[in-house]
């Protein structure tokens, strides 16, 4: 099996190379962009869980349209990305842990714009609520992103999370630091 993989890899490289230099084709560029967009969404989750707010902010355009109405009501809004990150920083303080996981990415790219839909799972844990309904809250749902290529980099311009199922203590996500 390893030998078959090696033979196939060599054949693909030989097809993609001319005079030792890789040719850039529209199909390769689209696949590179698709991989980069998925990497951004995954890296955003990692940054949020690590509470690396500088990294989290770096994935957004200066203004972002957000829609969390399935969780918090209200209306979608366009806000400064700094305000979005500030809200996450305040809500996901050091004593509240989180874990985000996503998959089943479907990406559509149109020039310097793109969209992505993926399934997601997240949990928040706040031990201070362990004796008051439980420390854990989980949510499943669908993430939708819009991206724009700005200054050569892909940035998130719109972010929607639509919850499809929740379980656990509903006080955990909105709990403030004691």
Output the pLDDT for position 28: 87
Output the pLDDT for position 5: 45
Output the pLDDT for position 105: 97
**Domains of the chain, each with CATH number or no CATH:** 26-168 (3.10.450.50)
Output the pLDDT for position 72: 87
Give the pLDDT means over successive 10-residue stretches in the chain (178 positions).
46 46 71 97 98 98 97 95 97 96 96 97 96 96 98 97 97 87
Output the pLDDT for position 177: 78
* pTM passes above 0.85: no
Q: Is 98 exposed, middle or buried (0-12, 13-18, 19+ CB in 10 A)?
A: buried
3-state secondary structure 109-170: EECCEEEEEEEEEEEEEEHHHCCCCCCEEEEEEEEEEEEEEECCEEEEEEEEEEEEEEEECC
Output the pLDDT for position 2: 52
């Amino acid at each position: 099996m390893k030998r078959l993989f090696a033979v196939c890899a060599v054949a693909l490289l030989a097809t993609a190379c001319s005079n030792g230099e890789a040719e850039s084709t529209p199909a390769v560029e689209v696949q590179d962009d698709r991989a980069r967009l998925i990497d951004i969404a995954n890296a955003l989750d990692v940054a949020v869980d690590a509470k690396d707010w500088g990294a989290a902010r770096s994935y957004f355009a200066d203004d972002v349209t957000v829609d969390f109405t399935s969780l918090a009501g209200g209306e979608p809004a366009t806000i400064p990305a700094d305000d979005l990150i500030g809200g996450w920083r305040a809500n996901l303080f050091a004593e509240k842990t989180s874990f985000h996981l996503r998959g089943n990415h479907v990406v559509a790219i149109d020039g310097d714009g793109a969209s992505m839909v993926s399934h997601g799972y997240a949990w928040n844990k706040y031990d201070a609520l362990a004796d008051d309904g439980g420390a854990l809250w989980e949510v499943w749902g669908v993430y939708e992103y819009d991206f724009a290529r700005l200054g050569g980099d892909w940035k998130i311009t719109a972010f929607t999370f639509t919850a499809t199922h929740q379980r656990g203590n509903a006080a955990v996500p909105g709990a403030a630091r004691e």
